[in-house]
């Protein structure tokens, strides 16, 4: 598949955002060919891993020579060892920033054309994608179907592990088809090992449909990188507890997801300065935060901010434009619509 490059991307192509955990109790059976039956989902054990990898060669699976006496360490010694290893994660992510930036450009291009960002993963990786996806609507005021998280084994696998589900490429195909995947969407495949069959199958299917693909792995030369328009590899090395990728690898994946979604939303005008001006004020704490956000953004006092929010029916962006542009709430809303919801552009109009 040839590269499809959005404007401003020099080395890689485009994605989107939304949260939907595929519910296996309602999903169809899938065989190796993608055929479906009406019964509940079951792992088809006849599926073969098309990309066998010697797991002992993966950095995330090797033994950490700094913690070979983990079972004999005092609690303080163990925690300090963990903290020392955790310090290496941020630097590993930092080295991947150029690729993460390319992935952000891809996500933004996708969202601007009405596409979605779809996180796809198994086990810890899938749960991390879901965690990021569910936080996007309250933080940025987006539709719940704009950033989606798919987890091998379905929503129930978030709390009860469905270990065999990660070995099914066809399971990912079924989950993406259930979402109605289109060429406007971007699929971000998360796999600490970089070779999870569920993720490989999902990325391959996404590319076949013309969707953009991003891979995030914690090993180099990852299998999933071969199916990605933008490949992000963050080699985190041996875990404190051998093979437990919920530790450093999981932390790295969480950092990358945080960066992808936050940077994309900032580029889309979902923030003003460093303020969450599109957040949903759905409880007492958030109502108070909205008042403080408006006061900070408009450089005014809390009482004035409260009155502006009342006039703007609780919408912080409208209240900010109302105050900064010296107009009515209706005029502020019209300015925002004309400026594609960007506060700075709306105030300058």
| Count of CA atoms in the C-beta half-sphere (13 A) of 204 | 19
Annotated catalytic residue, options 61, 85, 166, 239 = 166
Could you give the CA distance from residue 190 to residue 117 in angstroms, rounded to a whole number? Answer: 13
Which residues make beta-bridge pairs with 189?
120, 215
Does the active-site annotation cover 135?
Answer: yes
Could you give the CA distance from residue 11 to residue 34 in angstroms, rounded to a whole number? Answer: 33
Does the active-site annotation cover 85?
Answer: no
Could you give the CA distance from residue 346 to residue 330 in angstroms, rounded to a whole number? Answer: 13
Could you give the CA distance from residue 243 to residue 96 in angstroms, rounded to a whole number? Answer: 22
CB 124 within 8 A of CB 250: yes
Annotated catalytic residue, options 25, 50, 85, 135 = 135
Phi, psi (degrees; rounded to nearest 5) at 188: -105, 110
Q: Closest by alpha carbon to 323, among 341, 300, 293? A: 300
Question: Which residues belong to the active site?
Answer: 135, 166
């Amino acid at each position: 598949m040839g590269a499809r490059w959005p404007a401003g991307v020099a080395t890689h192509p485009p994605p989107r955002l939304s949260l939907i955990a595929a519910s296996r109790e309602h999903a169809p059976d899938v065989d190796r060919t993608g055929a479906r039956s009406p019964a509940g989902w079951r792992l088809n054990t006849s599926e073969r891993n098309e990309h066998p990898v010697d797991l002992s060669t993966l950095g995330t699976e090797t033994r950490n020579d700094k913690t070979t006496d983990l079972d004999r360490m005092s609690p303080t010694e163990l925690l300090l060892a963990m903290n020392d290893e955790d310090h290496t994660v941020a630097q590993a992510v930092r080295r991947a920033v150029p690729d993460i930036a390319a992935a952000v450009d891809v996500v933004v291009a996708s969202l601007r054309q009405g596409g979605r960002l779809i996180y796809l993963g198994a086990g810890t990786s899938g749960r991390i994608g879901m965690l990021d996806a569910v936080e996007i609507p309250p933080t940025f005021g987006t539709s719940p179907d704009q950033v989606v998280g798919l987890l091998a084994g379905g929503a129930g696998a978030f709390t009860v592990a469905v270990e065999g589900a990660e070995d099914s490429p066809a399971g990912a195909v079924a989950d993406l088809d259930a979402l109605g995947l289109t060429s406007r969407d971007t699929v971000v495949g998360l796999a600490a090992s970089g070779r999870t069959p569920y993720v490989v199958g999902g990325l391959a299917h996404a590319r076949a449909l013309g969707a953009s693909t991003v891979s995030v792995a914690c090993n180099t030369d990852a299998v999933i990188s071969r199916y990605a328009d933008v490949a992000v590899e963050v080699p985190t090395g041996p875990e404190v507890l051998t093979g437990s990728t919920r530790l450093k690898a999981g932390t790295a994946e969480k950092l990358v997801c945080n960066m992808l979604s936050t940077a994309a939303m900032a580029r889309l005008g979902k923030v003003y300065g460093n303020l969450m001006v599109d957040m949903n004020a759905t409880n007492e704490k958030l109502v108070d935060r909205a008042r403080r956000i408006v006061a900070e953004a408009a450089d005014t006092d809390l009482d004035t901010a409260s009155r502006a929010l009342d006039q703007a029916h609780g919408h912080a962006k409208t209240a900010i434009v109302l105050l900064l542009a010296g107009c009515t709430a209706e005029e502020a809303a019209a300015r925002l619509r004309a400026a594609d919801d960007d506060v700075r552009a709306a105030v300058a109009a």
